A and B are shown apart, each in its own frame.
Chain A
Amino acid sequence: MRFTIFQESRKSQRKVNQDRLAYTYSRDTLLLVVADGMGGHAGGEIAAQIAVRLFIERFQQEAKPTLKNPLKFLQDTMLRAHSALGSYANQFSMLETPRTTCVSCIVQSNYAYWAHAGDSRLYLFRQGGLIGQTKDHSKVQYLLDQGIIGAHEVVDHPDRNKIFSCLGGLVDPVIDLSRRTPLRNGDIIVLCTDGLWAVYPQEEIARALTGTPILKACPALMREAEVRGGPDGDNLSLIVVRWGPETLTDEPTTTITETMGLGEFQTEIDRTLTLTDRKGVQRDLTDDEIERAIEEIQATIKRYRR
């Protein structure tokens, strides 16, 4: 596989970042996941974190190096995350179950598959045009579909945060699965939370990402989104993948997976801003995290030993 990838999350003006995002890939399969947690105290962060971790862990158990059934994998993992959140709430007798939206995408053998619950989105662009997108499980989307409100009313609607499907919570989630969608070189997959899509019309995202190296365009998108978010700016999260071998503009940032061994995975979890609060106070590393970091470094040293 060859692709160029960008991933970033920003807290913006909120006290905490309840968004989590990650990607991981084996030699032949790529997984992207974005979750936007909800709920008081640390609930939202925990929910998003649990969902993303579960995706990564299951992927690494099952993608050896491909998934037998990507859509089933997506659906099963979402359902497992949903029940994991329920048990977590039980275990700690939480008054409110931690909840999270989730959108996840798998690319395998030049096909994309995706699933979502809630209002975190996926867009698929080809040559600047939209060829696929998720439909929010939200009240405003419903109102829009019914013709009760117009498209221009969505962003400022008082009920814009109301969603009817998410992982965690009392009712089972509605999970939408995509078709098996063939990808062409140069196709762009975008996963983002509402903090980002609320400040950009879809056409503007398409325009920004077309013809510009994504590793240049995406940081600019994030910067501008934070400005547009204003003093009450929401958490912003974005994963963008440009599929296919490097083009002139992206060279030499393309990820090439052909040289990876079977059973080998590369993972990036964006924990960037989650350990820091606004004042820059740092959270402690736990013993567990230290051990993990050391293991990871040792494994890397071995991998790159000639």
Chain B
Amino acid sequence: MGVTNQALPSGYQLLNYRIDRQISRGGFSIVYRAFDDSTAPVAIKEYLPSSLVLRTEGDIVRASSAENLTSFRYGMKCFFEEGRALAKINHPNVVRVLNFFRANETVYMVMRYERGRTLQQQIQLRQDQMSERLVRHVFMHLLNGLREVHTHKLLHLDIKPANVYLRTDGSPVLLDFGAARQTLTSTRPKLAPMYTPGFAAPEQYRDPDRLGPWTDVYGIGASIFACLAAFAPQAADARVTEDHLVSAKKIWAGAYSENLLEVIDWCLKLDPLERPQSVFALQKAIRDIPPKRRKLTFLGNLKKRLFTEVM
């Protein structure tokens, strides 16, 4: 049993924020729920890589060796990248950064606190297949957010259901820009890339010069696929050598609209040039052919509206 980094205790005062509890723990950080001066809840992400044990007690983060300090500081750059990326974006479907500061010999990012669960949890919790209506609702909004991200010359590069948060009102928020890169000013990623098998596009594995909006489009396609299948599509690096991915159009023929299935297959093309080249192109494709709807009766309509509000 290894030693792990100690989280900040409940009630801990971090500048003007009071830590409430740990929400999650990832490879590079711990996320807490906290309250600000006016007792509004916020999410605070503490940079604390789990591979380096840096805090076994108290609050101050200390590197145990010079080598550790180097790795620690290097990873901090990724954390800054994320902060830089998010600071520029103010959009209802993208997580909002409220503050960024240094304390306890590490760095913290304060984000708006959202209530709900991740799309990943949503997929796992549901017994039956996700409805086309919900899929469309989530992804149309998510694409609005992603469009904003691309407008700021940023790529997300790690789009997957675990990084999409569904608020209690059903609207999605794009999270975790740890992999985000400033792209259009320098086409090379600045840091060692990270990718999630199944959701990462083939160019993320071997051709970083070809990253572009279409790379995030692949992640979107894979995420919609995962919503339908409840598992991720075959990893892109494996697909390049031997493609076992069955087209969405074949798997779900009849269960979902042809348009949606075609869009999934289009997004999951291995050749970046064959995918929708921009979020706008993708949105247009999804919007172009609306799903066939039965005519709703007055009651049906009312039921639908109520359901939408509950979602």
Closest-CB distance, A183 to chain B (whole angstroms): 21
Interface stretch, picked from B87-95, B136-144, B294-302, is B87-95
Determine if A300 is an interface residue (Cβ-Cβ < 8 Å).
Answer: yes
B107 touches A294 (CB 8 A): yes
Interface residues of B in 69-111 (CB under 8 A from A): 69-70, 73-74, 76-77, 80, 83-84, 87-90, 97-102, 107
A-B residue pair count with CB separations less than 8 angstroms: 79
Interface string of A203-221 (1 = CB under 8 A from B): 0000000000001001100
* A10 surroundings in chain B (CB, below 8 A): 188
A284 touches B100 (CB 8 A): no
Determine if B124 is an interface residue (Cβ-Cβ < 8 Å).
Answer: no
Interface string of B139-173 (1 = CB under 8 A from A): 00000000000010100000000000000000000
Interface centre among B99, B101, B187 (most CB of A within 10 A): B187
Determine if B209 is an interface residue (Cβ-Cβ < 8 Å).
Answer: yes
Interface stretch, picked from A130-138, A174-182, A268-276, is A268-276
Interface stretch, picked from A1-9, A73-81, A85-93, A190-198, is A1-9
Interface size class of A (residues with CB under 8 A): 20 to 34
A7 touches B73 (CB 8 A): no
Interface string of B55-81 (1 = CB under 8 A from A): 000000000000001100110110010
Determine if A41 is an interface residue (Cβ-Cβ < 8 Å).
Answer: no
* B186 surroundings in chain A (CB, below 8 A): 7-9, 268, 270, 272
Q: List 6 A-B contacts (CB under 8 A).
A: A6-B185, A272-B188, A285-B74, A293-B84, A294-B80, A297-B87
* B153 surroundings in chain A (CB, below 8 A): 253
A301 touches B209 (CB 8 A): no
Closest-CB distance, A200 to chain B (whole angstroms): 18
A297 touches B83 (CB 8 A): yes
Determine if A68 is an interface residue (Cβ-Cβ < 8 Å).
Answer: no
Determine if A158 is an interface residue (Cβ-Cβ < 8 Å).
Answer: no
Q: DSSP class of B's interface residues: helix, strand, loop or mixed?
A: mixed
Q: In the docked arrangement, what's the CA distance between A9 and B98, Å?
A: 33
Query: Taking A6-B184, A290-B107, A301-B87 as contacts, is the C-beta distance between A285 and B73 under 8 angstroms?
Result: yes
* A305 surroundings in chain B (CB, below 8 A): 90
Determine if A280 is an interface residue (Cβ-Cβ < 8 Å).
Answer: yes
Closest-CB distance, B177 to chain A (whole angstroms): 12
B184 touches A253 (CB 8 A): yes
Determine if A296 is an interface residue (Cβ-Cβ < 8 Å).
Answer: yes
Interface string of B242-253 (1 = CB under 8 A from A): 000000000000
Determine if B15 is an interface residue (Cβ-Cβ < 8 Å).
Answer: no
Closest-CB distance, A286 to chain B (whole angstroms): 9
Interface centre among B87, B102, B107 (most CB of A within 10 A): B87
B151 touches A252 (CB 8 A): yes
- Other A-B contacts than A222-B187, A300-B88, A301-B97, 13 sampled, CB-CB below 8 A, are A215-B184, A253-B184, A272-B190, A290-B73, A293-B83, A294-B100, A294-B101, A298-B87, A300-B87, A301-B98, A304-B87, A304-B88, A304-B89
Closest-CB distance, A33 to chain B (whole angstroms): 14
Determine if B306 is an interface residue (Cβ-Cβ < 8 Å).
Answer: no
Partner of B99, one of A218, A222, A298: A298
Determine if A306 is an interface residue (Cβ-Cβ < 8 Å).
Answer: yes
Determine if B192 is an interface residue (Cβ-Cβ < 8 Å).
Answer: yes
B76 touches A290 (CB 8 A): yes
* A69 surroundings in chain B (CB, below 8 A): none
B80 touches A280 (CB 8 A): no
Closest-CB distance, B60 to chain A (whole angstroms): 15
* B209 surroundings in chain A (CB, below 8 A): 219, 222-223
Q: In the docked arrangement, what's the CA distance between A295 and B240, Å?
A: 43
A298 touches B76 (CB 8 A): no
* A5 surroundings in chain B (CB, below 8 A): 185
* A215 surroundings in chain B (CB, below 8 A): 184
B99 touches A301 (CB 8 A): yes
Interface residues of B in 180-228 (CB under 8 A from A): 184-188, 190, 192, 209
Q: In the docked arrangement, what's the CA distance between A273 and B188, Å?
A: 9
A297 touches B185 (CB 8 A): no
Q: In the docked arrangement, what's the CA distance between A270 and B187, Å?
A: 11
